[in-house]
Amino acid sequence: MSIDIEAIERSQLKEDVPTFQPGDTVKVTVEIKEASGTGDKRTMRTRTQAFQGLVIRRQGAGARETFTVRKISFGVGVERTFPVHSPIIKDIAMVQEGDVRRAKLYYIRDKVGKAARVKKKKLTG
């Protein structure tokens, strides 16, 4: 790849991305832009929203890297995929580290209730 493209990709990266991996439960704080009113009264305002759930996938590299968070909302499974370096992500907070044996936790989708949990990571090695 050309040096110029590498430089562009590097400039897109955030420096303060916390470490997290599939199996971890995280709370992602997302900034949302909303428009209210019409015509001259139209104003943009931003608010933040949290999306908390289990990281079931992390894929890609560089600016293209994304991760998927799954949560159960009102009995319905909801998955949301974020670019890791997206400017709308204000914070990724670790809620609980998980202990899993695979990189993609798609099997969780077919599990319900108690079976749909991930072991908590033990602090000892």
Taking the least distance from each CB to other proteins, the nearer of 16 and 110 is: 16
Taking the least distance from each CB to other proteins, the nearer of 88 and 116 is: 88
| DSSP conformational letter for 122 | P
Taking the least distance from each CB to other proteins, the nearer of 85 and 116 is: 85
* DSSP for 10-68, written as a single string: HHH--S-PPP--TT-EEEEEEEEEEEESSGGG-EEEEEEEEEEEEEEEEE--GGG-EEE
**Considering only residues 5, 35, 61, 76, which one is a binding residue for other proteins as defined by CB under 8 A?**
5
What are the φ/ψ torsions at residue 85 (nearest 5 degrees)? Answer: -100, 15
Residue 63, number of CB atoms within 10 A of its CB: 16
Residues 41-100 that bind other proteins (CB under 8 A): 63-64, 83, 85-88
Nearest distance, CB of residue 83 and other proteins, angstroms: 6
Could you list the residues that contact other proteins (CB under 8 A)? 1-2, 4-5, 7-9, 12, 33, 63-64, 83, 85-88
